[in-house]
Amino acid sequence: MYATAHAYAKINLGLKILARRSDGFHELRTVFQTISLADRLELTLHRGRGVTLTTTGLPIPTGRANLAVRAAELAAHRFAIPGAIAITLHKLIPLGAGLGGGSSDAAAVLRMLARAARRPPALGDLLALARELGSDVPLFLLGGTVLGLGRGDEVYALPDLAPWHCILAMPRSASTSGLATPAAFADWDRRHRAQLTEKVRSSTLMEFCSLVDQVLPAFRTLRNRGSQEPKVHAGIENDFLAGVLSLSPDFPRIHRQLCRTSAAWVGLTGSGAAQFGLFSRAEPAKAVATALARRHCTWRARFVPRRVVQHGVQFES
């Protein structure tokens, strides 16, 4: 069997941290959105044993340090898939940017191997397997616009948003190593330890639910009208943003530059390092990307709907 798949990146349309859980993780509320920046994977089943990984593009870990390899090993065991698995990964999504590239690669491997199983697993079983690999892996099995609860691993499909244009930017200094998520959570704990009361958690939860209920419909209306005003991101912020902006002058510089544009939404994805601006039209998005690229790493993308993600695996016998 030979299969190919695109592993799409994601951004977070707001991210609220409630508190640290008893299992050591943090309780989150977020809305994920898949975008067209993507890795490409090829997977071949052949005689033999084990999992091999060949990579091109951006430098990434190989062997079991790579989540795609661990996903292949886990799926082969659970789905009783015989033979050896060879994966070729063409890496375009930067590491440590908050774009979920490694998790998306793992989800793509799960989807490809699920189709190879004698008894293809139900989506619920596949989601449970994804949760074993990482908190961001389940969202990529759904794709499109997704509500994330719990650690971010409890996912629910939301109606797809229109195909907004997305400009991503991060400092060149962060492009080689990115930002570590555990360190970002530790920094948030230090900043908010005195505020972590049940009352605050309840208030934050209700605030997030209200904002999702109000902001996403407004976001659809703006796109349908071809308008970029008023800005709709206010109030549904990413709780990691304040910490990221304090890391180096380049982060607030990017943030200010994006906020001065006609972007309908400016935000941080994941725990950083990438920030984004969303535009309803291609022309202003291109102009902003060109300006940012003079000093920073910059990417252009568009929103990817659920049907594209879920039908993105191609097979040959």
Omega within 30 of 0 (cis) for the link into 284: no
Reading the block at residue 298, the tokens are 């910059």
Contact indicator for 87, 45 with CB cutoff of 8 Å = no
Reading the block at residue 155, the tokens are 């996912």
Contact indicator for 278, 264 with CB cutoff of 8 Å = yes
Q: Which of 171, 170, 167, 147 is nearest to 157 (CA)?
A: 147
End-to-end Cα, the chain, rounded Å: 5
Q: Which of 175, 146, 169, 171 is nearest to 285 (CA)?
A: 169
| Catalytic residue from among 136, 153, 160, 239 | 136
Cα–Cα distance for residue pair 259/253, rounded to 1 Å: 10
For residue 231, indicate whether it is catalytic: no
The crossing angle, in degrees rounded to 10, of helices 101-116 and 123-133 is 140
Contact indicator for 130, 109 with CB cutoff of 8 Å = no
Report the 10 Å Cβ neighbour count for 242. Answer: 13
Residues 6+ positions from 66 with CB-CB distance below 8 Å: 53, 60, 89, 102, 105
Reading the block at residue 268, the tokens are 């941080």
CA 170 to chain CA mean position, Å = 15
For residue 286, indicate whether it is catalytic: no
Q: For the chain, how many residues are written?
A: 317
Cα–Cα distance for residue pair 105/119, rounded to 1 Å: 23
The set of catalytic residues is: 10, 136
